[in-house]
Amino acid sequence: DNSADHARRVLRRAENADRPGERTARRLRLAFAHHITQAFGRLCPVEGGRDAGFTLYEHQFLLLDGSEVSLWEVEHTATPDGRHMCEVYETESAAREAMESRARVR
């Protein structure tokens, strides 16, 4: 079902400097199944009195060796110009921390 390609595309979209690296990308080349779940979605007020949208997705991958790997994708518009941005993290806690940090920008 093109799971390895899906993982590659998720990692390629990531704009954050602390995104998962080559080691994770190599592991995900062994993905043969995946599932996407929306874990969170909300509008939050940010700088300039506007609202920014935040959505958190879990991309779960099953690898050929039977192990599972998740990528946590944060999509948001908490950018200075309101542009859509995508960030990817290896843990849910890191993703949620990033969302909280972006939401505090006022």
Average pLDDT over residues 34-45: 92
Q: What is the mean pLDDT of residues 74-99?
A: 93
For the segment 58-86, the average pLDDT, to the nearest whole number, is 94
Which residue ranges make up each domain of the chain? 3-103
Residue closest to 26 by CA, chosen among 89, 66, 72, 69: 69
Using a cut of 0.85, tell me whether the model's pTM lies above it.
yes
Mean pLDDT of the chain: 92
Task: Tell me what the mean pLDDT of segment 28-35 comes to.
Answer: 97
Residue 79 has what pLDDT?
Answer: 86
Entry field: residues in the chain: 106
Angle (CA) 44 46 48, round 5°: 140
Average pLDDT over residues 52-72: 96
**pLDDT value of residue 105:** 53
User: CA 103 to CA 42: how far, in whole Å?
Assistant: 10
CA distance 102 to 55: 12
What is the per-residue pLDDT for 10? 98
